[in-house]
């Protein structure tokens, strides 16, 4: 019997496995695809995330971002990013290396198999895969992303609309270390060009905007790039919309399966790794005191709920009034603000109060 | 004058006065205090979590925009509730959903049942959400007029007068809507009510 089975080898699953394997627990990761596998993701990752993992950005060949440009139609504002504070990663490599590291620390990996059934017994869980294999464990971590089967199994009930992101990853020799964000393209969302090693990720994320119209809008950003043979891929973003049950006695949800993506930045890896850290702490505590894992839900939300709520509030102001917000941006050092937010040196609560102070709401 | 250490210790009227002077921390505390109820109410009126959250965003901006003109001696929540209801109506109107009014003048005097307790907050009591799923689903399928009126009565505990004032309709209409809503709920929950009746 395993101590913990982790379903899914994305950032939250692989980091959960890594943290728990390092603590000496018997961990099995079950991933339905074979690694490395591609994921639609802009890949923006703050230094803080690497610190949580106790790994250097170079371990993942992360690409160091130096500047950010914000466009509103023909106008542009440029900001410096504090050095070594924001990076981009290729998700296939990021997830793969993290999983490998978990395995080097003793975790076991089962690839190309999908969990199709979970049975809860008194003191254990039995997991069945599509290839007919059965595994027993004390605990289960649901890291199977948005639309998670494990979330449904514990009755987490994420019944709401989520934004959609579409993206093309275009091979590009030496991209400049500049993230470009495009406002004014869609009502509730933005476009982006994220440079990565040898790649430009060109994408668009939008909420309440027709998915069918999105490729047409994205073509504005693609027009100077050679992208004809590159597939256009889409992915839903697991935004937070209020608290749900994220755990039962033996099961916890991490990352996208817990719907904890930052609704302002759309960045999901940081909270994925944070939730993995909280899952690790909860599981160790519950083993020690022989308690049910149910306390995990409160633990997650006591750390994240207020910030996610305020991030959502800010995104409402920001994306609803894009033209006016862009006009006000010359007053702020957006590079430092974004870097501080993503690295958790500034809280959304502080930003929210700043917005109330500086933005003349009567004009909105 | 206000020297408490924590904004949580202030009463509403103090927070309002401070917000009116531009104190953002006071406003954040007002948000902390009422965000659950606003989101909950908006979710109920709009009929879905996403629409509820979206409208609530506008409600918060609207409260901040208008708080200067609010009389701090009055209760805050009824004012917030009115803003919320109006924002929801405005959004529904924009979408052209059209709040049908022809069913308003239905007969009065139907015997009424009380809605089982469906008080919960999407921010706090996630477990209760599942418990009340049946009732919720039935409520979701009611026409907007009835859903909103019944919600204000059964969950927000407003009097008929308060509902009339909040929705800008007359008391007769409030009464007839509530009766009709209850009748519809009874029909939808028939199976469960019958099971309950047999056992009692």
Phi, psi of A176 (to 5 degrees): -70, 145
Looking at chain B from residue 101 to 160, which residues have their Cβ under 8 Å from any Cβ of chain A? 122-124, 126-127, 129-130
Phi, psi of B194 (to 5 degrees): -65, -45
Report the gap between the CA of B95 and the closest CA in chain A (Å): 13
pLDDT at B189: 72
Matching fold, domains A2-64+86-159+239-311 and A164-236: no
SS3 label, residue A362 = helix
Nearest of B129, B33, B60, B127 to residue A160 by alpha carbon:
B129
A vs B: CB pairs below 8 A: 65
pLDDT at B139: 78
Is the pLDDT at B194 greater than 70, yes or no?
Answer: no
Using an 8 Å CB-CB cutoff, list chain B residues near A356: 24, 27, 64
Longest dimension (CA), chain A: 63
Asked if B57's CB is within 8 angstroms of A312's CB, the reply is yes
Side-chain-facing half-sphere of B77: CA atoms under 13 Å: 13
| Distance of alpha carbon B200 from alpha carbon B197, whole angstroms | 5
Nearest to A241 among B25, B50, B130 (CB): B50
Task: Look up residue B61 and give its two tokens.
Answer: 């901006």
As a whole number, mean pLDDT of residues B96-123 equals 38
**Which run of H or E residues covers position A200?**
strand A199-206
Closest-CA residue of B relative to A311 is: B57
Is the pLDDT at B114 greater than 70, yes or no?
Answer: no
- What tens-digit pLDDT sequence spans chain A (364 residues)? 999 999 999 999 999 999 999 999 999 999 999 999 999 999 999 999 999 999 999 999 999 999 999 999 999 999 999 999 999 999 999 999 999 999 999 999 999 999 999 999 988 999 999 999 999 999 999 999 998 999 999 998 888 888 899 999 999 999 999 999 999 999 889 999 999 999 999 999 998 788 889 999 999 999 999 999 999 999 999 999 999 999 999 999 999 999 999 999 999 999 999 999 999 999 999 999 999 999 999 999 999 999 999 999 999 888 888 998 999 899 889 999 999 999 999 999 999 988 888 776 555 5
Q: Does B60 touch chain A (CB under 8 A)?
A: yes
Are A308 and A315 in contact by the 8 Å Cβ rule? The answer is no
**Which run of H or E residues covers position A294?**
none
Report the gap between the CA of A319 and the closest CA in chain B (Å): 11
Q: Label residue B130 by pLDDT band (50, 70, 90).
A: very low
Using an 8 Å CB-CB cutoff, list chain B residues near A305: 123
Q: Label residue B199 by pLDDT band (50, 70, 90).
A: very low
Mean pLDDT, rounded, of chain B = 76
Using an 8 Å CB-CB cutoff, list chain B residues near A157: 129-130
Asked if B57's CB is within 8 angstroms of A320's CB, the reply is yes
Nearest to A160 among B31, B48, B65 (CB): B48
Using an 8 Å CB-CB cutoff, list chain A residues near B27: 356
Report the gap between the CA of B127 and the closest CA in chain A (Å): 7
How would you classify the pairing of strands A63-64 and A86-88? antiparallel
SS3 label, residue A276 = helix
- The CATH fold assigned to A164-236 is D-Amino Acid Oxidase; Chain A, domain 2 (3.30.9)
Q: What is the CA radius of gyration of chain B?
A: 19
Side-chain-facing half-sphere of A313: CA atoms under 13 Å: 25
Nearest to A242 among B27, B28, B49 (CB): B49
Q: Does B27 touch chain A (CB under 8 A)?
A: yes
Using an 8 Å CB-CB cutoff, list chain A residues near B65: 361-362, 364
Q: Does B53 touch chain A (CB under 8 A)?
A: yes
Task: Look up residue A245 and give its two tokens.
Answer: 């049950």
Q: Which sequence spans correspond to the domains of chain A?
A: 2-64+86-159+239-311, 164-236
Phi, psi of A19 (to 5 degrees): -60, -45
Asked if A313's CB is within 8 angstroms of B65's CB, the reply is no
Is the pLDDT at B198 greater than 90, yes or no?
Answer: no
Q: Does B54 touch chain A (CB under 8 A)?
A: yes
CA B23 to each of CA A352, B29, B78, B176: distance values in angstroms, whole numbers, following the listed order? 12, 10, 22, 44
As a whole number, mean pLDDT of residues B153-162 equals 84
Listing from the earlier edge strand, what are the strands of the sheet with A189-196? A75-80, A67-72, A178-183, A189-196, A199-206, A164-171, A233-236
Closest-CA residue of B relative to A314 is: B57
Are A67 and A335 in contact by the 8 Å Cβ rule? The answer is yes
Nearest to A243 among B53, B61, B126 (CB): B126
Longest dimension (CA), chain B: 62
**CATH number for region A2-64+86-159+239-311:** 3.50.50.60
Domains and CATH numbers, chain B: 7-94 (1.10.1740.10), 126-199 (1.10.10.10)
Are A157 and B129 in contact by the 8 Å Cβ rule? The answer is yes
Using an 8 Å CB-CB cutoff, list chain B residues near A353: 24-25, 28
Residue A255 zone, left/alpha/beta (φ > 0; ψ -120 to 50; rest): left
Nearest to B65 among A157, A357, A362 (CB): A362
Nearest of A63, A236, A58 to residue A162 by alpha carbon:
A236
Asked if A353's CB is within 8 angstroms of B24's CB, the reply is yes
Asked if B65's CB is within 8 angstroms of A356's CB, the reply is no
How would you classify the pairing of strands A199-206 and A251-253? unpaired
Asked if B126's CB is within 8 angstroms of A364's CB, the reply is no
Report the gap between the CA of B190 and the closest CA in chain A (Å): 25
Q: Which of A153-157, A293-297, B80-84, B110-114 has the lowest mean pLDDT?
A: B110-114
pTM of the model: 0.84
pLDDT at A361: 58
Going by the DSSP 8-state scheme, the letter that residue A16 receives in this structure is: H
Asked if A297's CB is within 8 angstroms of B49's CB, the reply is no
Is the pLDDT at B119 greater than 50, yes or no?
Answer: no
> Token pair 């449904």 is at which residue?
A152
Asked if B49's CB is within 8 angstroms of A160's CB, the reply is yes
Share of chain B above pLDDT 70, in %: 73
pLDDT at A80: 98
Instruction: Quickly list H helices, chain A.
Output: 11-22, 47-53, 91-104, 149-153, 214-222, 269-289, 296-320, 322-328, 334-342, 348-358
Buried b (16+ CB within 10 A) or exposed e, A207-244: bebeeeebeebbeebbeeeebeeeebeebbbbbbbbbb
Q: Helices (H), strands (E): how many in chain A? A: 10, 17
């Amino acid at each position: 019997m395993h101590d913990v089975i982790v379903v899914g080898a994305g950032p939250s699953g692989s980091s959960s496995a890594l943290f728990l394997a390092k603590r000496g627990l018997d961990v099995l990761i079950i991933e339905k695809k074979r690694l490395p596998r591609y994921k639609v993701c802009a890949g923006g990752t703050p230094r803080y995330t690497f610190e949580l993992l106790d790994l250097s950005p170079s371990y993942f060949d992360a690409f160091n971002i130096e500047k950010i440009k914000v466009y509103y139609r023909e106008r542009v504002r440029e900001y410096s990013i504090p050095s070594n504070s924001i990076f981009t990663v290729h998700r296939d490599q990021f997830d793969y290396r993290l999983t490998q590291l978990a395995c080097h620390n003793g975790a076991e990996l089962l690839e190309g198999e999908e969990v199709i059934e979970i049975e809860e017994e008194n003191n254990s869980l039995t997991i069945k895969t599509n290839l007919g294999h059965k595994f027993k464990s004390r605990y289960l971590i649901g890291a199977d992303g948005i639309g998670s089967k494990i979330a449904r199994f514990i009755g987490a009930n994420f019944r709401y609309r989520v934004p959609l992101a579409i993206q093309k990853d275009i091979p590009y020799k030496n991209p400049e270390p500049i993230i470009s964000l495009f406002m004014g393209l869609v009502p509730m969302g933005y476009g982006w060009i994220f440079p990565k090693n040898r790649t430009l990720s060109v994408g668009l994320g939008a909420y309440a905007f027709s998915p069918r119209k999105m490729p047409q809008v994205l073509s504005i950003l693609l027009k100077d790039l050679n992208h004809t043979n590159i597939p256009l891929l889409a992915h839903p973003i697991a935004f937070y919309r209020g608290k749900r049950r994220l755990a039962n006695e033996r099961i916890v949800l991490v990352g996208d399966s817990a719907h904890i993506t930052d609704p302002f930045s759309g960045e999901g890896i940081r909270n994925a790794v944070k939730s993995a850290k909280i899952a690790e702490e909860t599981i160790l505590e519950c083993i020690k005191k022989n308690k049910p894992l149910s306390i995990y839900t409160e633990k997650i939300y006591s750390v994240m709920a207020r910030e996610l709520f305020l991030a959502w509030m800010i995104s409402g102001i920001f994306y609803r009034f894009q033209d006016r917000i862009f006009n006000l941006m010359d007053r702020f050092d957006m590079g430092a603000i974004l870097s501080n937010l993503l690295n958790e040196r500034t809280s959304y609560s502080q930003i929210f109060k700043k917005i109330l102070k500086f933005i003349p709401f009567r004009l909105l | 004058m206000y020297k408490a250490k924590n904004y949580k210790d202030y009463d509403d009227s103090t927070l309002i006065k401070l917000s009116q002077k531009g104190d953002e921390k006071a406003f954040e505390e007002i948000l902390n205090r009422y965000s659950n109820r606003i989101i909950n109410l908006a979710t109920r009126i709009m009929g879905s979590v996403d629409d509820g959250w979206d409208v609530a965003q506008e409600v918060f901006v609207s409260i901040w925009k208008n708080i200067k003109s609010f009389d701090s001696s009055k209760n805050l929540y009824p004012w917030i509730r009115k803003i919320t209801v109006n924002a929801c109506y405005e959004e529904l109107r924009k979408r052209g959903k059209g709040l049908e009014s022809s069913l308003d003048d239905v007969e009065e005097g139907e015997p009424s049942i009380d809605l089982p307790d469906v008080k919960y907050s999407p921010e706090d009591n996630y477990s209760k959400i599942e418990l009340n799923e049946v009732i919720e689903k039935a409520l979701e399928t009611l026409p907007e007029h009835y859903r909103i009126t019944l919600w204000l009565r059964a969950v927000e505990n407003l009097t008929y007068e308060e509902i009339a004032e909040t929705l800008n309709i007359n008391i007769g209409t409030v009464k007839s809507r509530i009766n009709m809503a209850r009748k519809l709920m009874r029909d939808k929950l028939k199976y469960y009510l019958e099971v309950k009746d047999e056992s009692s």
